[in-house]
Amino acid sequence: AADMVRSRVNTRYLDGVGLPAALRVGHLAADADLASTLRSSELIVLAGPTAALPSWLPALAGLGLSVPGGWVCKGFLDGEGGELAHEYAARAAAPLAVGVLSGPSFAQEVAAGKPCALVAASVHESVRQALVEAFHSRSLRVYPSTDVPGVEVGGAVKNVLAIACGLCDGLDLGLNARAALITRGLAEAARLGVA
């Protein structure tokens, strides 16, 4: 956080992309002023690795916030028995009205303003609405959904398929192999989603 405040760039996760001037960077445990800022916010977005949610969500819940919030990370929580983020949030940060913003996206391309579509999923209408209003733009389409597990599993599975596609490209297996991988991957992702 201190490096991002100084350089106004997240060199670890989004190198080369400047942070907007209005974006406040802080660390809840080290920044007493951050708690008051969060209380007066319209939306809290947790943008970091999934592994950070077990420290972030209980800290936010401890503040007694009524501000809608959401995370943009994808994946399962390793140290929490493979829970999805919404499962962990319900167990460890129940008073928070939260959701997820996810989809087939790469942060570098979103930051560059390239076209993308995402889904804002939450059981709370206020969270879905706040995420759509904050992020829907000319180049970024955001669609609301109540299917939080589907969006979270879809985001995690998409990462597996993206890595496999990268392997296809790296091994120079051709576009037919990549198309077959995507087709079969979508069928497996659909079966996993139903399960």
Q: How far apart are CA 15 and CA 176, in angstroms?
A: 33
Cα 74-77-78 angle, rounded to 5 deg: 125
Residue 62: what are its φ and ψ, rounded to 5°? -65, -20
114 in catalytic set: no
| Catalytic entry in 61, 158, 177, 178 | 158
CA distances from 12 to 16, 39, 187 (A): 10, 28, 34
Q: How far apart are CA 66 and CA 185, in angstroms?
A: 39
By annotation, the residues acting in catalysis are: 158
